[in-house]
Chain A
Amino acid sequence: AQSVTQLDSHVSVSEGTPVLLRCNYSSSYSPSLFWYVQHPNKGLQLLLKYTSAATLVKGINGFEAEFKKSETSFHLTKPSAHMSDAAEYFCVVSDRMDSSYKLIFGSGTRLLVRP
């Protein structure tokens, strides 16, 4: 069975400092991993995805994530936070062998950016 654990419910950083949002996953087979961002009262926007190509994945808005199979992690990072990055972030896993294409969501991490 697949699952996703987002280790922090809230992360607070100052503008201009690095961002680290942590995610660990468990998957029976070859996982696809995603990070989505949700701004208040909005839908989800895809930041980046990993699907077995390069382990370091670059996404939009300067975000990137590294797939580490040995640590079963897929942490999201950004070198310098911007006020507009304040939002809810979801780490998501799916099983590429599962024809239902269902996504398994983490519980979310709220990123707060202080001026």
Chain B
Amino acid sequence: GAVVSQHPSWVICKSGTSVKIECRSLDFQATTMFWYRQFPKQSLMLMATSNEGSKATYEQGVEKDKFLINHASLTLSTLTVTSAHPEDSSFYICSARGPWGQTDTQYFGPGTRLTVL
């Protein structure tokens, strides 16, 4: 149980285009999801917290107009990287707060590798 998926697993796009990444909780409802960014050989950096039905809360230094987050249902959150540039190339990982009884635990998706040319 507590499986989180991400789609796509990797994407290559041209500079200036937008890319959408989906994060789904497959076997539980997730009122809260999180988006992280990970640079090579580094730890995870929290970008934002996504709550179903409300606006996302962004961490300091993260541009909310560039990284659009939508959490429209209890099983789906999306991250859209708008007007992507090469410096946005990174590994993006989502997580979902666990189901009832495991709400103190985050379950992570497999990640999305974004390469902007």
Residue numbers of A with Cβ under 8 A of B are 32, 34, 36, 41-46, 49, 51, 90, 94, 96, 100-103, 105-108
Q: What count of chain B residues pass the 8 Å CB interface test?
A: 24
Q: Which 8 A-B pairs have the closest CB atoms?
A: A44-B108, A43-B110, A43-B108, A105-B43, A43-B111, A32-B104, A43-B109, A107-B43
Cα of A103 to Cα of B47 in the assembled complex, Å: 12
**Residues 66-94 of chain B: 1 if any A CB is under 8 Å from the residue's CB, otherwise 0?**
00000000000000000000000001010
Q: Chain B interface mostly helix, strand, loop or mixed?
A: strand
Q: Sample 21 A-B pairs with CB under 8 A, ordered by A number.
A: A32-B105, A36-B108, A41-B91, A43-B93, A43-B108, A43-B109, A43-B111, A44-B95, A44-B108, A46-B107, A46-B108, A51-B104, A94-B104, A101-B97, A101-B103, A101-B104, A102-B49, A105-B43, A105-B44, A106-B43, A108-B42
Asked if A44 contacts B113 (CB within 8 A), the reply is no
Query: CB-CB < 8 A to B108: which residues of A?
Result: 36, 43-46
Query: CB-CB < 8 A to A49: which residues of B?
Result: 104-105
